[in-house]
Amino acid sequence: MKTAAPTVWLTTLGCAKNQVDSDKVTGMLTSAGYIEATSPEAADVVMVNTCGFIEPARRESVDTILDLAGAKRSDASLVVIGCMAQRYEHELSEALPEADAVIGLDRYPELIDRLDALTTWTPITIGSVRRSHMDILYESRRPTPTTPYAYVKAAEGCDKLCTFCAIPQFRGKQRSRGVANIRNEVAELAAAGVAEIGLVAQDLAAYGRDIDGPGIVDLIQLLSTVDGLRRLRLYYLYPREIRPELIEEMANNPIVADYFDLSLQHTSIGLLRAMKRPGSGEKHRELVESIRAAAPDAALRSSFIVGFPGEVDDDVDELADFLTDVELDWVGFFPYSAEDGTEAATMDQQIPDVEKQARLRHLQSIQDEITTGRSIAQIGRTLTVVVDQVEDGQPVARSYREAPEIDGVILLDRGDPGDWLAAEVVGGYGTDLDAIVRGSA
């Protein structure tokens, strides 16, 4: 029987929503007496929070599990959690004997007990008992950030019926948190030194509809009153849910970043209907125009699926023309992946992988030039930036235009992590910019 508190290493894969889950799991384990390990090799339990969204993400998850299985101590346990564990629990348990436990999202209430059993640890509880239940959406996270930003989940799941997406299968329908619960978490993080919050959900603009409560505009107005919060960034805005009042609030609220993360997916009306998505290339243009009319300097990001079943060269050309016309700041392209249990996986006219990759490279080359131009256009502007880290003596920062980890960065001549500074952009290359600090902000 183990008497010392076990140590845990947690590796997180996938999107910001997974990072939120990992932060909350870490907080829960810490509250239960577990200690964070300094490395996988030093841990009693090695955990992997997997992503199961598309095939490349699943391959990365499996590769990471196997890598960590080889790195951990022989007497340490390997535990797989997250989206892929939820969707393929039995398959992973059979295919990966290296894993001592595979625990999907809906079995998180068992997590502490399973770890206690694996580590043969019997904790001593004084005055209270350890909880045996847990809703990951409402679970508190430990407010001890190592970076000046953090993610907060406003809702879980999705009510949309996109034919390519399996998220509703393993995340369920949308469940919005109450505004007071969200504000309390943001306030705790801000009090601990987090000045930028990324508010995330699968369908953030539809927040609150499922609980007949305050909507997204009400929520961000309330969060804007949190002491110490300097920037609120919104993630994953479904185009049909972006109402004029949301655009106006984002454009005029000084706490909310003028950063519009639009989930457009394509411009071909035929493909969008096959995806069960709203809009068209023309509707997308109108949305972009309405955003820029309200916030002329707004940064716009979107993602597009390449090689959806039935996509033809004319569809790719239409998307290329759209990119050239509207000049989005940041774009991600994803080759279509046929997901088990989705309608699109059974559609005719599936596109060969080699053709998907060729189309993706073509579109990416067009967008790379646009993104570079949009970045270089910032030269001469003085922006409010936050320093995320210092790498080899080089301060690395971001303005409202750059989301953490997915967009470009701004390299400064001076600054320390957590500093908010006024910096004049003096040069750039590709997605990144150089800036000189002119003072504090």
How confident is the model over 202-240, as pLDDT tens digits? Answer: 999 999 999 988 999 999 999 999 999 999 999 999 999
Q: Which two tokens stand for residue 284?
A: 């997308």
Closest CA to 250 of 400, 387, 145, 426: 400
Cβ-based neighbours of 390, under 8 Å, separated by 6 or more: 396, 415, 416, 417
User: Is the CB of residue 385 less than 8 Å from the CB of residue 397?
Assistant: yes
* Spatial separation of the C-alpha atoms in residues 397 and 405, rounded to whole Å: 11
Residue 3: pLDDT band (50, 70, 90) is low
Looking at the chain, which residues constitute the CATH 2.40.50.140 domain(s)?
382-440
Q: Which superfamily, per CATH, for 382-440?
A: Nucleic acid-binding proteins (2.40.50.140)
- In the sheet that holds 299-306, the strands lie side by side as 259-265, 299-306, 330-335
Judge contact between 410 and 421, C-beta under 8 A: no
Q: Which CATH class is domain 7-119?
A: alpha beta
Q: What is the pLDDT of residues 316-345, one digit of tens each?
A: 999 999 999 999 999 999 999 998 889 999
Kindly report, residue by residue over 152-211, the tens digit of the pLDDT: 999 999 999 999 998 888 788 999 999 999 999 999 999 999 999 999 999 999 999 999
Residues in Cβ contact with 196 at an 8 Å cutoff, skipping those fewer than 6 apart: 148, 149, 150, 229, 230, 231, 232, 233, 386
| Contact present, 162 and 345 (Cβ < 8 Å) | no
Bridge partners, 77 (sequence order): 45
pTM: 0.82
Provide the token pair at 186.
Answer: 């943001």
Return d(Cα 36, Cα 45) in angstroms, integer. 10
Read off the tokens for 55: 């095939």
Whether 1 shows a pLDDT value over 60: the answer reads no
Instruction: Measure the CA dihedral 177/200/263/56, to 10°.
Output: -120
Beta strands in 109-230 (DSSP E): 149-153, 155-156, 175-176, 196-200
What class has domain 149-376? alpha beta
Domain with CATH 3.40.50.12160 in the chain: 7-119
Helices (H), 102-215: 111-119, 167-171, 179-191
